[in-house]
Structure 1
Amino acid sequence: MLYQRYTGITFEMLSDLKVKNLKPQEKRYSIADGEGLIISVFPSGKKKWVLSYRHHGKQNQKTLGEYPEIGCKDARNLARDFKSQLSGKKINVPTLGEVIQEWLSIMGPRWTSDKYKYTVIYRLNYISEDLSDTSIDEIERKDVVKKVKEIVAKGTIETAKRSLRLLSDVFNFAIASDYTEKNPCILAGDVIPKQDVENLAALKPHQMTEFWTKVQQSYVTDDLMIALKLACYTAVRISELLHARWDTREIDLNKKEWIIPASRMKMRRDHVVPLTDQTVKLFKIMYDRKTDEGFIFKHTRKPNMPCRSESILAIIKRNGYAKLMTTHGFRTVFSTHANESTLFREDVIEYQIAHVPKNKIRGIYNRAEYWPERLELMTWYANEVDRWMKIYEKG
């Protein structure tokens, strides 16, 4: 099952003192009061009254409110009042958690990457933690905004953005399924601050000689230096490089091709990168050093895991470029330099860095399109990178 929640319930009669003394644990837990009424205690310390009931043969749950705003006596009265209104009334609305589970069961099998599946589940669990037991048509924008603000307060702005986007997809699915008529995620993203542009900072091409001067005169382990150079030579995303493996046979040194599988590509399509003499040489060095068929660039302490992108970024920061350059910046340098040269068509440059127009996505995607021009482009660019590096290359 893709979506899991902890639902362990202990049964005992409750009093306000007992509820007050309930302590948060690592996972959410619930204590039953009787007749379907339970108090759920969250790791954050929040306590919510939830009524579990059956209607028209289906099990449902309704959130009645939070403790201590609502005490035991009031919670029981609310539960009785609600159940007394059920007669003759159709109540068949699933909870947010149930809709998430249904959405995942339909969408999940189409995802090729296990890492992506895990990330989706993690983000949905994260943003829906306090709302999963609430009927989906009862969730308001203020509820979503409250959770988004909590995530932003922890400094994880990108997580807030992506989690909200996924939750919005779930609500759109719920609307299409006639579970609700509204998407409370709309406009909720306006509470997320804009990220500083330095997160994707990039040097100008004319600054690259000085950059490589400093880097190559500093201490960097051989494997990390090769990874940094390949990031510059190939202009691929750093995650695509660091997750490259020998056992996938994605790198063909004889054909001088690197076929990055769809599971690692942002647009979920295979992408072919022409290899030049320079990049073949670097991959051959790594091939001669390999100890198994796993990741080409390994985590130093966990050889079954890939090298972390932070390790590559640390090289850049240590050499004085903390706010001036990023690993993503190599892609920007490539695009800027190639476009400014006026030697190559814009379509060829964009295709090489896997920026494909949306109208292309709907049609037939040819991963080898513009191949002769792209090969010429990458050969030219590798020679430009050599010009930036070679004067200062350590013997």
Structure 2
Amino acid sequence: MKTFEEVFYEYHRFLSLSVSPRRRYELVNQYENHIHPFIGDLLLSEIDHHIAIQPIRKLEMDGKTRTSNQVRQLVERVFDYAFYVNYCNHNPASILRRASKRHVQVNFPFVNNLYLPDFFKEMREKTTINQLHWVALVMIVLTASRSNEVFGMEWREIDFKTKEWNIPALRMKTRIAHTVMLSDQAVDLLKKWRECCSSDFYVFPSRYKNKQHISGSRIRNSILLTNYAKKQTLHGFRHVFSTTCYESNLWREDAIELCIAHNSMTRDYHHSKRFYNHARYKKEKRQIMQWYADIAEGWLFPADNEIVSILD
């Protein structure tokens, strides 16, 4: 009889040809951090549903329901594999879904556009954010991209001639390559930043870890020093972009969703339609990103009479 750990790594090897290296790394992390301490060394025959639920309950008690659901699914899939190869005669984790807390998605906070000029003013005046992190913050705003995608941006991904940022599939949440149309403001900022950037590889290199990029913790901590702590987040700028575009009634829904590589244009759409739309909306995507950058420029560098504080 095999232990749960032995079966997990056998299952992990079984997945090696069908999932990305990053996903395999995530599965090992989930196992080692959340599952191994509870059931890793136990034989499959020793694990019933009362024991299998222990790592899930620990995460639920910590308020980590999203992670607990991911761990439950992993335990269930490992036992499914064990049952398939005749290591056990039933799956004790198959009923855990009924006893687990559901994860409720909470949207990342973001403020009304009216207050964004004051937000950026406070970021400049109330924090010690340096040039490296300021440029990264502005790029998050101008591209409406996920913060980790911006922090890991590489110079080789940027085509200054076509004004495009080509993000490979491995770095995308959806695991589908994505092209961001860069506005004139974004291109100018990147060109100026390249002249003083300390790395030829990462656009935003870490100053403390060799061959690594920044994590964004300094930007997030800086936001906490302003009056917009817990009111505006980095991911919230994607919501700002989406809301601004939809409320304008100027652009088609498909084009807006393509700009931010949303699931409705990747996972849910038919494979052939997805690529057809990428070609069809390329011009409109470029128009949207330039239109939005022109608006965002007013938030980043406002006139004094445009400042309205959230405390007013």
Question: d(CA) in 2 for partners of 1:286 and 1:98?
Answer: 49
Question: How does 1:200-219 map onto structure 2 within 5 Å?
Answer: 200-218=108-126, 219=128
Aligned in 2, Cα 1:146/1:227: closer, same or farther, shift over 3 Å? same
Q: Secondary structure at the match of 1:383?
A: helix
Shift of residue 145 of structure 1?
2.1
Between structure 1 and structure 2, the one with the greater Rg is 1
Aligned position for 1:222: 131
Name which of 148, 158, 168 aligns with 1:239.
148
In the superposition, the TM-score normalised over structure 2's length comes to 0.84
Question: How does 1:172-183 map onto structure 2 within 5 Å?
Answer: 172-178=80-86, 179-182=88-91
Q: Is 1:127–2:34 an aligned residue pair?
A: yes
What are the superposed Cα offsets for residues 346-395 of structure 1, whole Å, 9 maximum, x if unpaired?
111112111133342644642545111111111111111012222259xx
Aligned in 2, Cα 1:176/1:121: closer, same or farther, shift over 3 Å? same
Shift of residue 341 of structure 1?
0.7
Question: d(CA) in 2 for partners of 1:176 and 1:365?
Answer: 35
Considering fraction of residues, name the structure with more helix: 2
What are the superposed Cα offsets for residues 161-215 of structure 1, whole Å, 9 maximum, x if unpaired?
43333333323333444544335154458555857947x2121223222222322
Q: Secondary structure at the match of 2:302?
A: helix
What are the superposed Cα offsets for residues 112-139 of structure 1, whole Å, 9 maximum, x if unpaired?
34x4432220111233313123343552
Name which of 218, 240, 245 aligns with 1:333.
240
Q: Is 1:168–2:76 an aligned residue pair?
A: yes
Name which of 344, 355, 366 aligns with 2:251.
344
Aligned in 2, Cα 1:172/1:347: closer, same or farther, shift over 3 Å? farther
Q: Secondary structure at the match of 2:195?
A: helix
Aligned position for 2:297: 386
Name which of 58, 72, 81 aligns with 1:150.
58
Letter in 1 for 2:282: W
Question: d(CA) in 2 for partners of 1:311 and 1:271?
Answer: 27
What are the superposed Cα offsets for residues 324-361 of structure 1, whole Å, 9 maximum, x if unpaired?
11111000111111111111111111121111333426
User: Greater relative contact order: 1 or 2 (C-alpha under 8 angstroms, separation 6 or more)?
Assistant: 2
Name which of 169, 190, 199 aligns with 1:283.
190
Aligned position for 2:231: 324
The answer on whether the counterparts of 1:168 and 1:186 sit within 8 Å (CA) in structure 2 is: no
Considering fraction of residues, name the structure with more strand: 1
Q: Secondary structure at the match of 2:176?
A: coil
**Unpaired runs of 5+ in structure 1?**
1-59, 61-93
Aligned position for 2:181: 274
| Number of positions where the alignment pairs a residue of Structure 1 with one of Structure 2 | 297
Aligned in 2, Cα 1:190/1:288: closer, same or farther, shift over 3 Å? farther
The answer on whether the counterparts of 2:172 and 2:178 sit within 8 Å (CA) in structure 1 is: yes
CA RMSD between the two structures: 2.6
Aligned position for 1:258: 165
Aligned position for 1:372: 283
Question: d(CA) in 2 for partners of 1:374 and 1:258?
Answer: 13
Q: Secondary structure at the match of 1:304?
A: coil
